[in-house]
């Protein structure tokens, strides 16, 4: 499955905000960009999409930045996808021909399963710290 850079960055930014979530801590744009090694110019556009979707809040000024609008366990991956990459969950197939209907139905079922899985995946799962496995020789 191909995930766009935009969706990848959105998930990473949301994971960073979830790691710091206490309802008050504001994270600056440059800190988010540095921690995730992403372009601040591109990231600000993504954060604006997330803000418009109601997933994050922004504060202006010298001590401004971003924070989650809700607890991380109440935000799911589907909401992030819908905010920045809604076309990921859409598809276009035709129902012409003998097999058109069954092919479309199969893709609709797969798409619904993906939506359900995204809805069951909380932001807290993205924010979990995972250590790279150690290999000893």
Residue with tokens 């995972």: 130
Q: Where are the alpha helices (DSSP H) in 69-119?
A: 77-84, 100-119
User: Using CB atoms within 10 A of its CB, is residue 62 exposed (0-12), middle (13-18) or buried (19+)?
Assistant: exposed
**Residue ranges per domain, the chain?**
5-88+123-127
Q: What pLDDT does residue 135 have?
A: 54
- Asked whether 83 and 49 are in contact (CB, 8 A), the reply is yes
Residue with tokens 């992403």: 38
What's the CATH architecture for 5-88+123-127? Orthogonal Bundle (1.10)
pLDDT averages per 10-residue partition of the chain, 137 residues: 91 95 91 94 97 96 92 97 90 81 89 94 86 53
Three-class SS state of 56: strand
Q: What pLDDT does residue 129 have?
A: 67
């Amino acid at each position: 499955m191909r995930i766009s850079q935009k969706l990848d960055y959105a998930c990473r930014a949301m994971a960073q905000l979830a790691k710091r979530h206490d309802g008050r801590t504001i994270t600056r744009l440059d800190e988010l960009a540095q921690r995730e090694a992403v372009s601040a110019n591109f990231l600000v556009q993504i954060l604006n999409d997330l803000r418009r979707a109601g997933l994050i809040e922004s504060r202006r000024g010298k001590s401004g930045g971003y924070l989650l609008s809700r607890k991380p366990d109440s935000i799911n991956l589907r909401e992030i996808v819908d905010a920045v990459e809604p076309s990921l969950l859409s598809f276009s197939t035709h129902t012409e021909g003998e097999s058109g209907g069954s092919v479309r139905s199969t893709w609709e079922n797969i798409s619904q399963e993906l939506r359900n899985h995204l809805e069951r995946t909380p932001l807290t799962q993205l924010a979990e710290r995972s250590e790279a496995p150690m290999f000893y020789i």
